[in-house]
Amino acid sequence: MTTGGMLTGSHGCLVGISKPTMFTGASAMFLLIYLALWKYHDSTNPLLASASSLPGDESRLLPGAHSPRDFLEQVMSCDLDEPEKENVMLIKNESMPIIYFVTPTYARSVQMAELTRLGQTLSSVPALHWILVEDASKCNPMVGQLLRRLGIPFTHLASEMPAAYKKLKTPPRGVSNRRAALKWIRKNVKQGVLYFGDDDNSYDLRLFEEIRDTRNISMFPVGLIGDYAVSAPVVHDGKVVGFYDSWPAGRRFAVDMAGFAVNIQLLHQFPNATFIYQAGFEEDSFLQDIVTNADFIEAKAANCTEILVWHTRTVQVPAVILQPPTQTLTDTSISGLLRRLDDLQLATISSKGKPSSVHYLTDV
Amino acid sequence: MTTGGMLTGSHGCLVGISKPTMFTGASAMFLLIYLALWKYHDSTNPLLASASSLPGDESRLLPGAHSPRDFLEQVMSCDLDEPEKENVMLIKNESMPIIYFVTPTYARSVQMAELTRLGQTLSSVPALHWILVEDASKCNPMVGQLLRRLGIPFTHLASEMPAAYKKLKTPPRGVSNRRAALKWIRKNVKQGVLYFGDDDNSYDLRLFEEIRDTRNISMFPVGLIGDYAVSAPVVHDGKVVGFYDSWPAGRRFAVDMAGFAVNIQLLHQFPNATFIYQAGFEEDSFLQDIVTNADFIEAKAANCTEILVWHTRTVQVPAVILQPPTQTLTDTSISGLLRRLDDLQLATISSKGKPSSVHYLTDV
């Protein structure tokens, strides 16, 4: 396996090796068949797994001119003014393992609302380092401002989905971001616990104390997933013996991305373990790489009977194109407000947009 | 106006006077016409305003055999073991006005996830008292457990929508709950700040410090509302002179329920001010009752150019009816998990439900 030459130097920006991928029509067709078979495809959050139901080992290999494990992404470190190492060093709590909470994110009108809400939840968790990875060619300064304001130790990266995947009808979102986070952790962190937490899930704060003592891999139920309203490990005599998930799809580990946590020493034991660009099978491929013995799995959340994380989804709203009101009094707050809407990706302000107007109080 | 005989005694339960409402076919038709004209009706969250665009004062009067201001609801106090007064007394911070955060809520599969997420956000806010009002005939013990676990001072009430309104195609949700909260506050609280915060909105923690010094009424923008992606007061020379909202609809105060806060002394100055059962006009009717002079409105959030609260909406998922797996090993976690799904209203367990199965790890 080649891992590419990603560089996440402390002041680095736009560093990495991009391998052009060669997609044939046949491979695109193969992926479309996958998608048609996906049973509970989540159309409102493209970050989430979308998938095939092709069983067996062949489903783990993505057709194409490259190895599915090649590192294809460009990664940008966004902490230009604050060397990453400094952020890492902010936490020196030797009595408690640090949780590295990895969140892939992408630009949309609800993004800042969701990141604000999630970030505020995370700011209540002791000894947590947030690794936020944008699927973007450059870093969004609003996201950087939010991270600095929250006061959580963080790493802010950008890693765009390689162009070849963007052409697919349902692009495999979140893979590029999570791979970039794995690379960053392997380079910068020796120990702690890794958890993948999407920006629209809901987390009960008790989850963090459950996963903090993960020795190898811990697993637990995720609410609001699929046709069973849950995806959960099944525990017998204290051991995980199977999975209760309405979409087994030939997966050995039929779990959601939010349903497991990993001790970072295990990442170093398996330096090639990664996510492949195959919608719906990301969790399974990664876990097959690192779980050599099912006895290593630790059941959390009251032997997997409690729900401490929920796959909530937010209604997506398209950004609007707005024409500023013509009848506005001079020096009102409207111009500042419209600039803010633009910054927040809620609206684009244009003379060709939808006309907008102010309703004045009658006694003005 | 008659205010009814609601009783929220400290150990009280199911106390109040219900006035039967007489709905004629004509009044139902009148409301249906309202709804047909609603421009950005929020079909996914029935708690939110749904409305008419009939302008003028007549739109503020609900047709029917009773006065729209009559108190119709039964209110149940859910803090059976903990007298309300004790909860109120938990906060004795004389240096800081207490924020009374009122949340109407109703049973659905995402409810516990949303209340957990919101409650954790509120637990970061000093001097806040959460008034949670279920639209239900009895209190949900899971909600009570959550409230006690969070450690926030709270009041837990239930106030079901009167039967006559339930028959409407789009029932006016959240009115009964908010009216019950107003009554409770008027009875139990002398001073502080009132804010109406739905369970699916997203709150920037900075909002709470903005509204805490509200002298009369404060107003501020709400993101992700309507066709302008925002509903915001317009400020000129430091004063609120109008509203930027894509659905003015003849409203004097074209604001969202999350866009204003009220000093509780004002509630006592206007003891009859309330919400009427008229979808889309709740905010306007209440504000017209208490805002006698527009100069009293205080512009918050950087003169109404910052967005500190977002009208995010959560995708609603129906609860499933599940048949327990037949091939389950004895003494697995499945039975405990299924009981939990039932408690959380994620699933109903029934032998007539959708068959479900466990996928066992091959090496078990």
Cβ–Cβ < 8 Å for A224, A310: yes
Residue A256 in marked binding region: no
pLDDT value at position B91?
57
Look at A113 and B223 and tell me if their CB atoms are within 8 Å. Answer: yes
pLDDT value at position B13?
30
Higher pLDDT, A62 or A327: A327
Give the count of alpha carbons within 13 A of A93, CB side only. 14
Look at B329 and A232 and tell me if their CB atoms are within 8 Å. Answer: no
ipTM of this complex? 0.81
Tell me which of B361, B362, B363, B364 to substitute to probe the interface with A (most A C-beta atoms closer than 10 Å): B361
Cβ–Cβ < 8 Å for B234, B221: no
> If you count them, how many residues does chain B have?
364
Measured between beta carbons, which residues in chain B are less than 8 angstroms from residue A236?
Answer: 329, 331-333, 364
Q: Can you list the residues of chain B whose pLDDT is less than 50?
A: 1-66, 83-89
Alpha carbon distance B18, B2 (integer Å): 12
pLDDT above 80 for A42: no
Q: In order of start, what are the domains of chain B with their CATH numbers?
A: 25-199+206-213+250-259+273-287 (3.90.550.10), 320-355 (no CATH)
Residue A117 in marked binding region: no
Q: CA end-to-end span of chain B, whole Å?
A: 71
Cβ–Cβ < 8 Å for B236, A332: yes
Tell me which of A330, A340, A349, A363 to substitute to probe the interface with B (most B C-beta atoms closer than 10 Å): A340
Q: In chain B, what percentage of residues exceed pLDDT 70?
A: 76
Contact residues for A157 (Cβ-Cβ < 8 A; gap 6+):
A8, A75, A76, A77, A78, A131, A132, A133, A134, A177, A180, A181, A184
Residue B179 in marked binding region: no
Residue A204: closest CA among chain B residues belongs to which residue? Answer: B116
Cβ–Cβ < 8 Å for A279, A170: yes
Supply B66's token pair: 């009773």
Phi and psi at residue A137, in whole multiples of 5°? -80, -20
Supply A150's token pair: 């929250």
Cβ–Cβ < 8 Å for A307, B340: yes
| DSSP string for residues in A307-332 | --EE---BPP-PPEEEEPPSSPPTTB
Candidates A134, A160, A283, A298; catalytic one = A283
Count residue pairs from A and B with Cβ separation < 8 A. 237
Instruction: Express the helix, strand and coil content of chain A in percent, nearest 5 each.
Output: 30, 20, 50
Cβ–Cβ < 8 Å for A50, A281: no
CA angle B130, B132, B138 (to 5 degrees): 150
pLDDT value at position B92?
60
pLDDT above 80 for A53: no
Could you tell me if residue A210 is left (phi over 0), alpha (psi between -120 and 50 degrees) or otherwise beta?
alpha
Could you tell me if residue A16 is left (phi over 0), alpha (psi between -120 and 50 degrees) or otherwise beta?
left
pLDDT above 90 for A221: yes
Cα separations in angstroms, A77 against A89, A100, A191: 17, 17, 21
Contact residues for B125 (Cβ-Cβ < 8 A; gap 6+):
B99, B101, B205, B208
Cβ–Cβ < 8 Å for A284, A55: no
Which of A237, A299, A315 shows the shortest C-beta gap to B44?
A: A315
Residue B243: closest CA among chain A residues belongs to which residue? Answer: A359
How remote is the C-alpha of A256 from its chain's centroid? Answer: 12
Give the gap in angstroms from C-alpha B269 to the nearest C-alpha of chain A: 23
pLDDT above 70 for A260: yes
pLDDT value at position A70?
62
A335: enclosing H helix or E strand: helix A334-343
| DSSP string for residues in B184-236 | HHHHH-SSSEEEE--TT-EE-THHHHHHTT-SSEEE--EES-TTTTEEEEEEE
Measured between beta carbons, which residues in chain B are less than 8 angstroms from residue A291?
Answer: none
Residue A42 in marked binding region: no
Give the gap in angstroms from C-alpha A22 to the nearest C-alpha of chain B: 36
Tell me which of B260, B340, B354, B362 to substitute to probe the interface with A (most A C-beta atoms closer than 10 Å): B340
Phi and psi at residue B253, in whole multiples of 5°? -110, 90
Residue B42 in marked binding region: no
Which of A240, A303, A315 shows the shortest C-beta gap to B315?
A: A315
Residue B253: closest CA among chain A residues belongs to which residue? Answer: A361
Give the count of alpha carbons within 13 A of A200, CB side only. 24
Q: CA end-to-end span of chain A, whole Å?
A: 70
Look at A333 and B254 and tell me if their CB atoms are within 8 Å. Answer: no
Measured between beta carbons, which residues in chain B are less than 8 angstroms from residue A245?
Answer: 359
Is A283 designated active site?
A: yes
| DSSP string for residues in A145-197 | HHHHHHT--EEEEEEPPPHHHHTSSS--TTHHHHHHHHHHHHHH-SSSEEEE-
Look at B333 and A229 and tell me if their CB atoms are within 8 Å. Answer: no
Task: Give the β-pairing of B297-299 and B193-196.
Answer: unpaired
Q: Is A57 exposed, middle or buried (0-12, 13-18, 19+ CB in 10 A)?
A: exposed
Q: Is A29 exposed, middle or buried (0-12, 13-18, 19+ CB in 10 A)?
A: exposed
Alpha carbon distance B258, A198 (integer Å): 26
Candidates B134, B283, B298, B306; catalytic one = B283
- A39-59: average pLDDT: 32
Measured between beta carbons, which residues in chain B are less than 8 angstroms from residue A362?
Answer: 252
pLDDT value at position A330?
81
- A261-282: average pLDDT: 93
3-state class (DSSP) for residue B170: coil
Cα separations in angstroms, A97 against A53, A85, A100, A193, A217: 37, 18, 10, 7, 14
User: pLDDT-based confidence at A168, cuts 50/70/90?
Assistant: confident
pLDDT above 60 for A56: no
pLDDT in tens, A107-149: 999 999 999 999 999 999 999 999 999 999 999 999 999 999 9
- A7-17: average pLDDT: 31
Alpha carbon distance A133, B139 (integer Å): 42
Residue B165 in marked binding region: no
Phi and psi at residue A254, in whole multiples of 5°? -85, 75
pLDDT in tens, A66-116: 455 666 678 888 875 554 444 444 556 668 999 999 999 999 999 999 999
Alpha carbon distance A122, A156 (integer Å): 15
3-state class (DSSP) for residue B111: helix
pLDDT value at position B68?
56
